[in-house]
Amino acid sequence: MVFAIVTALCSITSAHAHAVGTSYLHIDPAGSDSEVAVRVELSIRDIEFAVGLDANGDGRITWGEVNSSTPALVTYIGRKFGLSRGGHQCALGDSDIALDQHTDELYAVLSTTAACGSNGALAVQSDLFFEIDDSHRTLLAVANDEQSGGDGAVSVLTSTTRHWSTAEPAGAWQDFARFVGQGAWHIWIGFDHLAFLMLLLLPLARATTLDEQPHIWPRVTSILKVVTAFTAAHSITLICATLGLLHFSARWVEALIAASIVVAALANIANVATRYGAAMAFGFGLIHGLGFASALADITTSTTRVIPLIGFNFGVELGQLAVVAAVFPLLFLWRGSPPIKDRAILAGSIAMGAAGISWLVQRTLLS
Amino acid sequence: MNRFNELMGTRRRASAAVLTLIVWMGFAANTKAAPYKPESPDTLLLELDASQQQASAKRRAANLQNNKAGAIELAREFVALGRAHHDERYFGYASAALQRWQQDAQAPLEVVLLRADIAQHQHRFNEARIILDGLLVRDPNQLTARLMRAALHMTQGEPHAALQDCQKLFSLREPFAATICLAHAHSSSGKLDESYRLVSTMLQQIPPGRRDTQVAWAWGVAADMAQRSGKEEEAEQWLRKALTQDSNDLVSRLELCDLFLHTQRPNEALKLLAALPASEPILLRRALGAKQLSAKKVGAMEVGAKPDLALAEWRAAVERSERLGITLHLRELARGQLELLNDPTLALHTALKNWEVQREPVDVRLLVAAARAAGNAAALQRVREWQNALRFEDRSFAL
């Protein structure tokens, strides 16, 4: 009863003193190919409660007692700690035992070398002390490892998170998806590509015949012609350049892309865009494709190009489709008398043309 | 003078940062401190007292898996060890001993009580509440659970909810506990003076020989009321009495330490902390004491005369806890951020997080201090509204 009252009345916000029980694991794969250095540091107190150290039961744990309990400790660690590489369990070698201090606590330090396979991701499973301590924390440090592709990592294992492994190399689908994303992203942030495309599409908002109310189909056809020409052209050069069939100077390509914008703007202003739209789309599309190729080259290595290529191209098309689909309705729904439309198209063309000129200057004279 | 202080402050901050880095590296870099082997096999590494030995043997007993009563007994022992040695680890041990009842809604009442106790100790107050609610539905006459829930309500700043539980204690034939409980609740809901008078009178009428845990608790309650009434000497007396009865009472010890720091008596504050383990709350107060000492330019004392080192140690401990993902004492952290790091914005942010967890008078004072320092009128207004709604009084500061 007394205990019960103590429990109830001890002030709730009692200050915590010693921190929770903590263990330290240090893993260093940088040795020879198949060997991994492992160091396990466990608090003497935790070991006493989990395994038992006080052989003569006198309440005094000595260095001699800790030393002689090495086999028992190794057995315990063998049961509770697992290291694997590439999915294969590593065999722990003989252990050397020493002491170390963390904060104000003494720790037993067991150092060993684990025989692991030489390939694959490292994985650690630790159940150390969770059976006796719900709040136990195991601080895991893994030194730099080329093979597993990671930098040195530090991780905290708890009773609910007992497993750690280096990042798995991405599966093929994840890779593909990543490049699709990159493709779409590139065209969305590629104002120069979009500007060019818009310049070609804008004049199509005008009546293609002299009627006020043009038929839908001819307009759709024109839009499709321009977009398809652009797509075909940039795909061709993107594929050829990425597969090494074409070589080009990125600097010149960038400049030419800027030039294409200026030309398209001029075509709009001179009112010849609708006639030469598809041709310009194709011709300059070839150049734009080279621009995409250099963007792709930035994010791939020379050995892995095909899947990224397909994904990236796909992404570019998707991105382009999204933009066109957004703009598409406007080309139809935009109501306004031809003069107003004309002026708007003119204004837009001048603005984008000006941007094109500034890019051109930047990319030639100032780079 | 101001500029000089500022310069000193900057240099101090810089050296504090360097020291923190050094201390943190010492903590963090396992590889730096080299493992060693003692010369003699008789070198003593760790001493265990009788209860620790007993608990250890029980823990490793082969039949513990099947021994339900033994597991409960062991958990109880671990909780007692945790309180006696101020070692957090034992609460984790206790919780692990009760593992088999983790998901058991019909666990034995003693198990549920223990789990509630562990939860509230680890500041998982909402969890503790839920556990106790369930328990009191099963057994409305459970005295300990009732007291615990009343205390939890007070911790969470809900004196009206506490009143109901306190009332129930009368029907459980615990008039002393019931009265103290009611007085405590009333003191935070508009009746500070009468409540304090009542509690003082009751405590003065206790025969001097009587020293039990209910009385110890009552001293703590009286100390809080005294402080809020602005009667600091009386608060000191109540806390000293609590410590005399149980020198292991860490809460009273730290409260007395805070009182000394508040009244600019750093030497006495540091003396109280002398034999305690180096955990965050203690390192915080050592750093605060050292800072006060150096500000007073009093001659160096053995204990804590190096403010920069003390500050660095506290910071290192805080960072270590963060790295391990352990929930920090938000109140202590906010206080450190406010008074040691001089970062009122961060302190206010932490104090507000703390406010969501607990609302004892200390937490109220801390939030007000942080809000004032950060110049945040909205936060001050929030506290004001809370205070007015409850008619909560604390004369040790003016809002």
pLDDT in tens, A346-361: 888 888 888 888 888 8
Tell me if B223 sits within 8 A of B235, measured CB to CB.
yes
pLDDT in tens, B151-182: 999 999 999 999 999 999 999 988 999 999 99
Q: Which has more confidence, B62 or A265?
A: A265
Query: Residue B304: is its pLDDT beyond 50?
Result: no
The arithmetic mean of pLDDT across residues A331-360, rounded, is: 79
pLDDT in tens, B310-345: 999 999 989 888 888 886 689 999 999 999 999 999
Domain residue extents for chain A: 19-165, 172-364
Q: Does B279 touch chain A (CB under 8 A)?
A: yes
The arithmetic mean of pLDDT across residues B297-321, rounded, is: 75
Partners of B282 on chain A (C-beta within 8 Å) are: 15, 17
Q: What is the pLDDT of residue B26?
A: 47
Tell me the pLDDT of chain A averaged across its residues: 81
Q: Does A298 touch chain B (CB under 8 A)?
A: no
Q: How far is A168 from chain B (nearest CA, A)?
A: 24
Quote the CA–CA distance of B393 and B388 in Å, as a whole number. Answer: 9
Q: What is the pLDDT of residue A176?
A: 76
| Count of CB pairs separated by less than 8 Å, A with B | 229
Quote the CA–CA distance of A10 and B251 in Å, as a whole number. Answer: 8
Query: Residue B27: is its pLDDT beyond 60?
Result: no
The arithmetic mean of pLDDT across residues A328-351, rounded, is: 75
Considering only the beta carbons, identify the residue of B76, B147, B358 that sits closest to A9: B147
Query: Residue B227: is its pLDDT beyond 80?
Result: yes
Partners of A41 on chain B (C-beta within 8 Å) are: 30
Q: How many CB atoms lie within 10 A of CB A191?
A: 14
Q: How far is B182 from chain A (nearest CA, A)?
A: 14
Q: Does B141 touch chain A (CB under 8 A)?
A: no
Report the amino acid identity of residue A183.
Answer: G
Report the amino acid identity of residue B166.
Answer: C
Look at B40 and A63 and tell me if their CB atoms are within 8 Å. Answer: yes
Confidence bin at B348 (pLDDT 50/70/90): very high
Quote the CA–CA distance of A363 and A355 in Å, as a whole number. Answer: 12
Question: Percentage of residues in chain B with pLDDT exceeding 90?
Answer: 70
Query: Residue B194: is its pLDDT beyond 60?
Result: yes
Q: Does A48 touch chain B (CB under 8 A)?
A: yes
Q: What is the ipTM of this complex?
A: 0.81
Q: Does B135 touch chain A (CB under 8 A)?
A: no
Task: Please count the CA atoms within 13 angstroms of the CA of B278 that sit on its side-chain side.
Answer: 17
Query: Residue A150: is its pLDDT beyond 50?
Result: no
Q: What is the pLDDT of residue B278?
A: 84
Tell me if B344 sits within 8 A of B370, measured CB to CB.
yes
pLDDT in tens, B228-243: 999 999 999 999 999 9
Q: What is the pLDDT of residue A297?
A: 74
Confidence bin at B371 (pLDDT 50/70/90): very high
Nearest 5°: the CA angle B53, B55, B60 is: 95
Q: What is the pLDDT of residue B13?
A: 61
Considering only the beta carbons, identify the residue of A49, A133, A137 that sits closest to B56: A49
Query: Residue A310: is its pLDDT beyond 80?
Result: yes
Domain residue extents for chain B: 247-327, 329-399
Partners of A111 on chain B (C-beta within 8 Å) are: 35
pLDDT in tens, B71-100: 999 999 999 999 888 888 999 999 999 999
Nearest chain B Cα to A156, which residue?
Answer: B324
